[in-house]
Amino acid sequence: MSVDQSTALSRLQSEIEAIYAERANLRYGLEDISQLQHALQSAALAEARGEAPALVLAALLHDVGHMIHKLGENPAEQGIDDRHEILGAKWLAKRLPQSVSEPVRLHVEAKRYLCAVDPDYFGKLAPDSVLSLKLQGGPMSEDEVAAFRGLAFAEEALCLRRIDEEAKDPLAVTPPVSHFLRHLPVAQIGAAERDAFRRDGVLVLRNFFEADEAAAFDQLSHSMGAEATALLRKAQESGWSPADFARETPDGLIVVPEVADPTQLCRFEYLIGHSHELRALVAARIAPMIEALAGEPFLPFKDKENEKHPGGGAFGPHQDFAAYQAFGPRYNVTAMISVDAATRENGCLEFAENWAAFAPRRSDAVEAIVEGRSLLCFHKGGAHNGDILEEIADRLEWRSVETSSRDLVIFDSFAPHRSGANGSAASRRAMFLTFNAAREGEWYARYYAEKRAHFDDPKFHVSTPTAHAG
C-alpha cells in the first residue's frame, strides 16, 4: 500500500545531478553549446510538447553515455564511435524502466532510420551528426527499416531523435536539471506498482511533492478557503442557502456546511474549475501519476477540499462508487493531498486492507460487481446514506494512513475508507481530486452543472457529515 520514494529517489537524483554538474560542461560535439545545455533544451522541448514524463527524462538523459565514458568531447573526430547510446541505456536500465532506457538505446538507430525514409532529414543534420552517422552504419537498409518499425519504443525513439536535432540553440533559456527530475516518481512506476494498485486500490507515495509544491497547495488552500468561508457567511447574512449560491454563481466555489454546525464549513468544491494555478499543478504532477498507475489517460471528474475543524468531520466507512454510480463513469481514481499533516488524532484516512480478499468469500456482502470490482452492501438513505453496512465494515481490517504535506495518496472508487472526527485543537485540510478514464468522456462540467441545479440531491452528499446525506 505504501511506497517510500524518498531514499531511492534522492540517491538517484543526487547521482544524476552530480554527473551533470561535474561532466556536462564538455562541448556538445562540434556545436557551440555544452552537453548540459543540449540536455536541458531537449528536456524542455519534450515537456513543452506535452510528452510523457518518461520521455522527458529520456530527453534529459539521452546523451548521458557521452558523460560517463572517457573518450573526450568528440570521439567521432578521431574516427571512434563511442556507442554512447548503448552505454547510456545500460546505465539507465539499472535505475529506470524501459520507457526511459529504450528510447535512449534506440535514438541513434532512429537517426539512421530517418535518414533512410525522410529525404529532408539528412539536410538537417549538424556536421558532427553527419560525421558520426558514417561511424554508426549510415542510413538503414530496407530490411533494417522494416525491423526498426516493429520495435517497442520505436515511436518514442523517433520523437526523441527529432528533439535531439532541434535542441542546439546556444541562447536558449531553460529550467535547471532539478526541474526535470521531478518526473522521476512517475517514471519509476512499473508493473509491480500497477498490479498492487489494481489489487488493493490504494497507493501511498511518501515524499512525492517537493517542499515548494506543498507550499503552493497550502497557499491555494488558504486563498480558496477564505473565499469559501466568505461565501458561507454571505449566504447566512443574506438568507440565501448554499444551494442558492451554487445555482447563481456558475463559476464560483460550491460551499457545503457541517450538519452539526451550519455556520462552519465542511468542504468546498469546484477547485480545478476555479483555479488555473491548481489546474496546472494537477496536470503536471498528479494526472501523469494516475495515468502511470492505471495504464490509460484520466480526466478530472470532481474535486473538493475537506475542512476538519476540531471536533468535526467524521466520515463513515464507504466506497466512493456508491456516490458515483448515478453518473456515467464505471471507475474513478482519487488523489488526496494533505494540505495539513494528517494524524490519527486529527482524523486521518483509514483504508480496509483485506477487502479484496474478503469480498469473494462473502458474496452476501456484495451489492454488485462492476467491471470485476466489488461494491459492498451499503445504506440507502437516512443518516448513513452510502455507508457500508455495519456488520460488513466491522469485519474489515482498517489501517490508519498518516500523511505529511509532501505525501500523495491515490485510491480508486472501490477502496473502502473512512476517517474519524478531528480530536486535535487545530483544523486539518485535505484536497480530494477525483478523475475518470478519458475513454468514458469529459464529466467535470456535467457533474457540476447537475450539482448546481440539484444541490440538495442526496446523491451529492453520500457518506458525508452534511445536512443532505439522506
465 pLDDT more than 70: no
Joined together, the cell numbers standing for residue 415 give 477502496
Write down the domain spans for the chain: 2-185, 194-460
What is the CATH topology of the domain spanning 2-185?
Answer: Hypothetical protein af1432 (1.10.3210)
Q: Tell me the pLDDT tens digit for each residue of 433-457.
A: 999 999 999 999 999 999 999 988 8
- Residue with more model confidence, 160 or 470: 160
Residue 16 in this model has a pLDDT that exceeds 80: yes
Per-residue pLDDT at 71: 44
Query: For residue 333, is pLDDT > 80?
Result: yes
Per-residue pLDDT reduced to its tens digit, 172-183: 999 999 999 988
Nearest to 205 by CA among 418, 54, 8, 60: 8
How many secondary structure helices (H) and strands (E) does the chain include? 21, 14
Residue 286 has pLDDT above 90, yes or no: yes
pTM recorded for the entire structure: 0.78
Closest CA to 189 of 401, 9, 382: 9
What is the model's pLDDT at position 118?
93
Residue that wins the pLDDT comparison between 77 and 367: 367
d(CA 93, CA 91): 6
188/268 Cα distance (integer angstroms): 33
pLDDT above 60 for 3: no
Average the pLDDT over each of 70-74, 137-141, 260-264 and give the range with the smallest value: 70-74
Q: How far is CA 221 from CA 228, 306, 337, in A?
A: 10, 10, 11
Classify residue 81 as exposed, middle or buried by CB count within 10 Å of its CB (0-12, 13-18, 19+): middle
User: What is the rounded average pLDDT for all residues in the chain?
Assistant: 89
pLDDT at residue 138 above 80? yes
Matching residue, cell 470490482: 373
Find the helix or strand (DSSP H, E) in which 2 lies.
Answer: strand 2-4
Task: Please check whether residue 351 is in contact with residue 415, taking contact to mean a CB–CB distance below 8 angstroms.
Answer: yes
For residue 279, what pLDDT band results from cuts at 50, 70 and 90? very high
Coil vs helix vs strand at 456: coil
Please tell me the distance from the alpha carbon of residue 121 to that of residue 123, in angstroms, as a whole number: 5
- Asked whether the predicted pLDDT for residue 159 surpasses 90, the reply is yes
pLDDT, residue 81, reads 45
More confident call, 399 vs 265 = 399
Query: How many Å apart are CA 397 and CA 166, to the nearest integer?
Result: 55
**pLDDT score recorded for residue 470:** 42
Distance of CA 426 to the CA centre of its chain: 29
Q: Are 410 and 309 in contact (CB under 8 A)?
A: no
For 194-460, which CATH class? mainly beta
User: Per-residue confidence at 2, pLDDT binned at 50, 70, 90?
Assistant: low
Q: What is the arithmetic mean of pLDDT over 355-368?
A: 84
Q: What is the pLDDT of residues 395-421, one digit of tens each?
A: 999 999 999 999 999 999 999 999 999
Mean pLDDT, to the nearest integer, of 327-350? 96
Grid cell in block for residue 120: 529532408
The helix (run of H) or strand (run of E) holding residue 299 is: strand 298-308
Question: What is the band of 258 on the pLDDT scale with cuts at 50, 70, 90?
Answer: confident
Beta-carbon contacts of 181 under 8 Å, excluding residues fewer than 6 positions away, are 13, 16, 17, 57, 60
Residue 259: the pLDDT is 75
